[in-house]
Amino acid sequence: MKEEIKTAAEQEKTGLEPEISGAEALLRCLVEEGVDTIFGYPGGAIMPVYDKLLDYSDRLRHILTRHEQGAAHAAQAYAMVTGRPGVCFATSGPGATNLVTGIANAFLDSVPVVFITAQVTSGLIGTDAFQETDILGISMPVTKWNAQVKKAEDIPDAIARAFYIARSGRPGPVLVDISKDAQFAGLSYSYRNCTYIRSYNPVIQLQMRDIESAAVMINHAEKPLILAGHGVILSGASEELRALAEKGGIPVAATLLGLPAFPNNHRLFAGMLGMHGNYAPNILTNQADLIIAIGMRFDDRVTGNLKKYAPDARIIHIEIDKAEINKNVRVDLEINNDAREVLAALIPLVRQISREKWIREFRILDRVEYEKVISPETEPDEGEIRMGEVVKAVSDLTEGNAVIATDVGQHQMAVARYYRFSEKSTLVTSGGMGTMGFGLPASLGAASGNPGRPVIAFIGDGGFQMTVQELGTIMQYQIPVKIILLNNSFLGMVRQWQQMFFNGRYASTEMVNPDFMALAGAYGIQAHRVTQRGELRDAIVTMLAAEGPYLLETVISREANILPMVEPGASVSDVTLTYR
């Protein structure tokens, strides 16, 4: 606090604040941006920043993960829960490259995360110095924007831009690489939020003519279907989506990341789209005469075979990222704008219609799916424990209001299918990338956002062991995540594909697992193991009531399959309901 000794008169004279280091400037910028939590891992090049961090510990909480990848996923989850950009620190070289999976994951799922990497001293850049890597070049294809800073005085502007770009328009990860000498050097600090970049225009003028066209198409449609994606949540358009659906009597199907955008117990909720989605919305996509796609990008897991996708439908695409429009599916009306703005303008123009006949078609197919798939999966009375029944029990006990984190694979699809997400819920999952190992670090990041709701992580035995070291982080900070380990001793999704498409040849998918109870014990984390159906519900109740972190291992059916399934290359209406 030596700087404060300078008198007011002295400051008056220079007109500027006294000099601070680049490292301190970075931290001040973060405070200005409303950051309170940073996930990261120190190392040589970033030491000046970590040193200053000690002085800022009252304003900035740093969570030391056990691997940079964990920090990246945690920062993303923090952003998904709080709605504010996550922040992640890593050092140069391996620290930076270890982030890459996490950066790419945030990029594909449009989550705002500001990654700060340290770089070797500017004079050494380009010389293959110790722990030097071209993280700018490496991260270019998976960041919304990135920049390198080699002068302390450039830090505030770079950070201001980073936050503005990360959270505006279609959000995404950004990376600022700061050389070690810039962290040490002094600057006259002043901060101005960035609100404008000439070459970047995230706010688009609403074209009322397009909105009117959309309304005409909706009002004349007999079988309209809304496809709601992550964009609905990112733009805060859940209320508007509900109002539109209710006024127009339009069923709402959701993508994986769009599931919490619409209450899953609503009579107009049609279920999840795509490969392991629900029967009705997949079949009826190909009978709809109008598709209203909102904040989604027609991913191949959603559309199945594009040549046979929605042949009878005209398509309205409401999407903030122009590059996503007409990328995979040719649309009839493109509305390149923020979902909330568009829906708010659209609702008054949509006629109040009840489309009971069309809704009934969903109910009929729902019944078929219930009898053939859902009931045996969620209400079995014999055999081994099923993933679906575990998820359903948690859903019932939390009334669909929890923050749910998942890893990737069969259990993720079980969660998507059987957790009944409310508007209060959050789903933190790896959609576009399908990153195994995401679940555990994501859950601790989500819980660090103080959501005021329980944070429950569903993780398979494969993904759990990819980032299992983050149990150490959970232990150190006593982060109250409830981990449900669904253990089938297989890499279940790959095994399912081997069974279905590779003649049952189980190549490297069976796992010999450690004693997870002993592992949890080593980290001082409360744990319990369930093998019998009769114990399941009580075990979940105990877990939910426990204070602090908790691991509930559930031993489940080894070779169960996730169904229904739109097989690769098949049309969405060609859904496999049962296998064998």
Partner 1 sequence: MQQEYTISLFTEDHIGILSRITLILTRRQINIESITASESAVSGIQMLTMVVSTTPDMVNKVARQIEKLVDVIKVFVHTNQEIISQEIALYKVTTRGLMSGSMIGDLVRLHHARILEVTPEYIVVEKNGSKEEITGLLAFLEPCGVLQFVRSGRIAITRQVKELNAYLKEMDDAERTRHVPSEVYN
Q: Which residues bind partner 1 (CB under 8 A)?
A: 136-137, 140-141, 144-145, 148, 165, 192-200, 321-323, 325-327
Give the Cα separation of 323 and 439 in Å (integer): 29
Tell me the C-alpha to C-alpha distance, in Å, between residue 43 and each of 122, 128, 136, 521.
17, 17, 18, 29
Is position 131 annotated as part of the catalytic site?
yes
Cβ-contact 77, 405 below 8 angstroms: yes
Q: Is 283 or 325 the residue whose CB approaches partner 1 more closely?
A: 325
Instruction: Quote the least distance from Cβ 177 to partner 1, whole Å.
Output: 11
Between residues 336 and 489, which has the closer beta carbon with respect to partner 1?
336
Q: What is the DSSP letter of 373?
A: I
Round to whole Å and give the CA distance between 266 and 252.
9
SS3 at position 144: coil
Nearer to partner 1, 136 or 245 (CB): 136
Q: How far is the CB of 195 from partner 1 (least distance, A)?
A: 5
Give the active site residue among 24, 33, 68, 389: 68
CA separation for the pair 388, 412 (Å, rounded): 10
Selected catalytic residue, list 413, 493, 543, 565: 493
- Cβ-based nearer residue to partner 1, 275 or 293: 293
Do 473 and 72 touch, CB atoms closer than 8 A? no
Whether 500 contacts 567, CB under 8 Å: yes
Nearer to partner 1, 315 or 556 (CB): 315
Would you tell me how many other CB atoms lie within 10 Å of the CB of residue 347? 17
83: Cβ–Cβ under 8 A, 6 or more apart, which residues? none
**Nearer to partner 1 (CB atom), residue 137 or residue 569:** 137
Q: How far is the CB of 112 from partner 1 (least distance, A)?
A: 14
Q: Which residue has the tokens 């000439």?
A: 198
Catalytic residue among 130, 222, 322, 478: 130
Q: Which is nearer to partner 1, 208 or 323 (CB)?
A: 323
Q: Is 543 a catalytic residue?
A: no
Q: Which residues contact 210 (CB under 8 A, 6 or more apart)?
A: 333, 334, 335
- Taking the complex as a whole, the smallest distance from the CB of residue 147 to partner 1 amounts, in Å, to 8
Please pick, among 144, 150, 180, 223, the residue that the annotation labels catalytic. Answer: 180
Tokens 């500027």 identify what position?
A: 16
Residue 510 neighbours by CB under 8 Å, 6+ apart: 489, 490, 495
Smallest gap from residue 105 Cβ to partner 1 (A): 18
**Which ranges in 386-515 belong to alpha helices (H)?**
387-398, 410-418, 439-448, 461-466, 471-477, 492-501
Full 3-state SS string of 323-371:
HHCCCCCCCCEEECCCHHHHHHHHHHHCCCCCCHHHHHHHHHHHHHHHH
Distance of closest approach, residue 201 Cβ to partner 1, in angstroms: 9
Structure tokens at 434: 């399908």
To partner 1, the closest distance from the beta carbon of 160 in angstroms equals: 10
475 is catalytic: no
Lay out the sheet containing 526-530: strands in order across: 426-428, 403-406, 455-460, 481-487, 550-555, 526-530
Judged by beta carbon, residue 31 or residue 323, the one nearer partner 1 is 323
We find the least distance from the C-beta atom of residue 337 to partner 1, in angstroms, to be 15
Minimum distance from CB of 482 to partner 1 (Å)? 39
- Give the residue with the Cβ less far from partner 1, 199 or 503: 199
The residue among 137, 102, 115 whose CA lies nearest residue 30 is 115
Residue of 131, 207, 287, 526 marked catalytic: 131
CA distance 250 to 444: 37
Separation between Cα atoms, residue 233 and residue 113, nearest integer Å? 16
Question: Given the structure tokens 């426990």, which residue do they identify?
Answer: 546
**Known catalytic membership, residue 130:** yes
Nearer to partner 1, 136 or 552 (CB): 136
- Can you name the residues that pair with 427 across neighbouring β-strands? 404
Q: Is the dihedral of CA 466, 468, 473, 477 positive or negative?
A: positive
What minimum distance in Å lies between the beta carbon of 126 and partner 1?
A: 13
**Identity of the amino acid at 400:** G
**Which residues are the active-site residues?**
68, 130-131, 180, 493
